[in-house]
Chains A and B, each alone.
Chain A
């Protein structure tokens, strides 16, 4: 396996009048596991298909190292792909499905046999080699598809929502298995999903996409802790981040974010960052898990408090999600563990001010 870095430059792909991919720049280093994450229709699958060679981009370039592969047919790129529908060939036995790519590459017969058995062992499907795909379960077919993808020792492994057709339990299991497999064979992997949990748990890096553009590229921590804009902030994390329209106000040498129904005092360095926005509207963002009912707040958490009323409670067992009504605003607070809250009762919520985000209203970009 060679060292292969993948580079996309200003990639554009249109379908008629719709722009599916709108100027994408991305670099994937050798051995990296990068996840393209975004809602359906954001262009992530089209981007992947361009890298595979199944779509020809209208503009831009795709490089594997310094080699321009933009218009190369798929078979000359040494990539492999795992499809959402698995795309295991129904007229071939499992063994032949895995061996077929090697046969096309004119690999000697005993070498083929060795490698098919290696891949089958990796995916724990050795005892299924003699069966036809229609005799397999969805999970087993998935394993065949992955075995077929790794047996050719591809330069780049592409996966298009490979787990979305599996049931929930199996999906969690395959998640860790795929990740471990990728670490072991150290193949550069580009993985498309709309599932943020998949992205967070599997990706070395995540590229969050929306409307044909990459919104942010970063490690899972960076994406979670320092979202670049309101889209990323809102897309990653459950329940969704709270967004509140606020105005930056200065009074008596102190700065506040005024939401109308409540106001929050901000520290001097935050005030400094917001000084251009004085008197203007910005968006305050705070994750449900970064707010606490005052009596449950950890001692090291400091921040302003907001008074409200318990509007609704979702008891999930491991977590309790409290919807707090503050005037006309609704804030969602996530408390870990099982707690009782009385509907309609008063509640005081503390914000962890260090985990607060402020976004520009027009550009939606993060200010802090």
Chain B
């Protein structure tokens, strides 16, 4: 028989072992990418060096020289437009789903999720011909619209659950005490939903920032960062690819670090 103490420690060892493996699984590629993005060419190619010790910004500079700067700007513009469009369209829909009972509500909800069922590859070619006809091909607006269509179902569902989390009585109290329905939404519901909405915005941003297929198909000269990397940097030496991957993950990591603290602080207040 194994005593309880041994069992207890065995269980802890297994638990922390699994945690360690999972964390390494996720972190190792990121750490390697960042290390090689800054290591000198000599360190990278030397068979004797596994972990580089000499660092440089040269690869990043070369990447920028290849045209990464405008691509980053494009990506930011596209992501911001995507947030704007998907929120302008998605917020009212999410609010309606959360607050009103109407005929066919569940079917419409299902339909919205169903739109995500089609692989993007299937709609890519028809979309390009449509864009050419509309003059939207190779424009940032076009990419943003495509990203909006991808993000919208997600934004609608998330915002509807966020709004559903704000009790109706709080809004009704607002209306009793002098607000219109619109005023009650702006002054009561929106501030309470803000942390959740911010999180939804961040996820939308990262989705757009990472999206490579649509961006590659729809643009030629106005490439977003992932599309640019796919066509330009992939033909370059390895350390340039690592530099590119570093630039790709950077905003996501910054966002998550900031958002985590901000979200917990805000939710601490709203969720009693």
Q: Chain A's nearest CB lies how many Å from the CB of B168?
A: 9
Residue pair B175, A74 in contact (C-beta under 8 Å):
yes
Q: With a CB–CB cut-off of 8 A, which chain A residues contact B270?
A: 90-91
A75 contacts B176, CB within 8 Å?
Answer: yes
Q: Is the CB of A90 within 8 A of B269?
A: yes
Q: How far is the CB of A105 from chain B (nearest CB, A)?
A: 6
Q: Which of chain A's residues 149-208 have a Cβ closer than 8 Å to chain B?
A: 152
Interface string of A71-100 (1 = CB under 8 A from B): 001110001110111010111000000001
B151-209: which have CB < 8 Å to A?
167, 169-170, 172-181, 188, 191-192
| Contact (Cβ within 8 A) A81 B176 | yes
B residues contacting the other copy or chain, number (CB 8 A): 19
What CA separation (Å) do A1 and B170 show in the bound complex? Answer: 26
CB-CB under 8 A from B181, the residues of chain A are 73
Contacts of B169 in A (CB 8 A): 83-85, 87
State which residues 111-140 of A face B: CB under 8 Å: 132-134
Is the Cβ of A75 less than 8 Å from the Cβ of B172? no
Identify which of residues 88-135 in chain B touch chain A, using a CB-to-CB cut-off of 8 Å.
Answer: none
At the interface, yes or no: A237 with Cβ under 8 Å from chain B? no
A148 contacts partner chain B, Cβ-Cβ < 8 Å: yes
Interfacial chain B residues near A85, Cβ < 8 Å: 167, 169
Hey, which chain A residues are within 8 Å of B173, CB to CB?
81, 83, 87, 89
**When the two chains form their complex, are residues A101 and B167 in contact, meaning their CB atoms are under 8 A apart?**
no
Cβ contacts B38-58/A at 8 Å (1 or 0 each): 000000000000000000000
* Contact of A104 with B by CB under 8 A: yes
Contact of A152 among B174, B175, B177 (CB under 8 A): B177
Check if B272 is an interface residue, CB within 8 A of chain A. Answer: yes
Asked whether A52 is an interface residue with its Cβ less than 8 Å from the other chain, the reply is yes
CB distance from A111 to the nearest CB of B (A): 16
Other-chain contact of B269, A74, A80, A91 (Cβ < 8 Å)? A91
Contact (Cβ within 8 A) B188 A89: yes
Residues of B close to A79: CB separation below 8 A: 176
A348 interfacial contact with B, CB 8 Å:
no
With A134-B269, A134-B272 as given contacts, are A75 and B188 in contact (CB-CB < 8 Å)? no
Q: How far, in whole Å, are A79 and B172 apart by their CA atoms in the complex?
A: 12
Q: Which residues of A contact B269 (CB under 8 A)?
A: 90-91, 132, 134
The answer to whether B180 and A73 have CB atoms under 8 Å apart is: yes
The bracket for how many chain A residues form the interface is: 20 to 34
Given that A75-B180, A85-B169 are known contacts, is A91 also in contact with B175, CB under 8 Å in the complex?
Answer: no
Separation of A134 and B266 alpha carbons in the complex (Å): 13
On whether A101 and B272 interact (CB within 8 A), knowing A54-B172, A87-B169, A87-B170, the answer reads no
- Complex-state Cα separation, A254 to B272, whole angstroms: 70
Instruction: List residues of chain B with CB within 8 A of the CB of A89.
Output: 170, 173-174, 188
- Chain A contacts of B192 at CB under 8 A? 90-91
| B-side contacts of A84, CB under 8 Å | 169
Contact for A104 among B167, B170, B179, B272, CB less than 8 A: B179
Contacts of A100 in B (CB 8 A): 177
Bound state CA distance, A52 and B173, in angstroms? 10
Residues of A contacting B176 in the complex (Cβ-Cβ under 8 angstroms) = 52-54, 74-75, 79-81
Please measure, in the bound complex, the distance between the C-alpha atom of A91 and the C-alpha atom of B186, giving whole angstroms. 13
Let me know if B175 and A54 touch, CB within 8 A.
yes
Q: Looking at the assembled complex, report how far the CB atom of B270 sits from the nearest CB atom of chain A, in whole angstroms.
A: 6
Measured between C-beta atoms, what is the minimum distance from A12 to chain B in Å?
A: 20
Q: List 24 A-B contacts (CB under 8 A).
A: A53-B176, A54-B172, A54-B176, A74-B175, A75-B175, A75-B179, A79-B176, A81-B173, A81-B176, A83-B169, A83-B173, A87-B170, A87-B173, A89-B170, A89-B174, A90-B192, A91-B192, A91-B269, A100-B177, A104-B177, A132-B269, A134-B269, A134-B272, A148-B177
Known: A75-B177, A90-B269. 10 other contacts (CB 8 A): A52-B176, A79-B176, A83-B169, A83-B172, A85-B169, A87-B173, A89-B174, A90-B270, A91-B270, A133-B272
10 closest Cβ contacts across the A-B interface? Answer: A104-B178, A101-B177, A87-B169, A87-B173, A74-B175, A134-B272, A83-B169, A75-B178, A81-B176, A74-B176
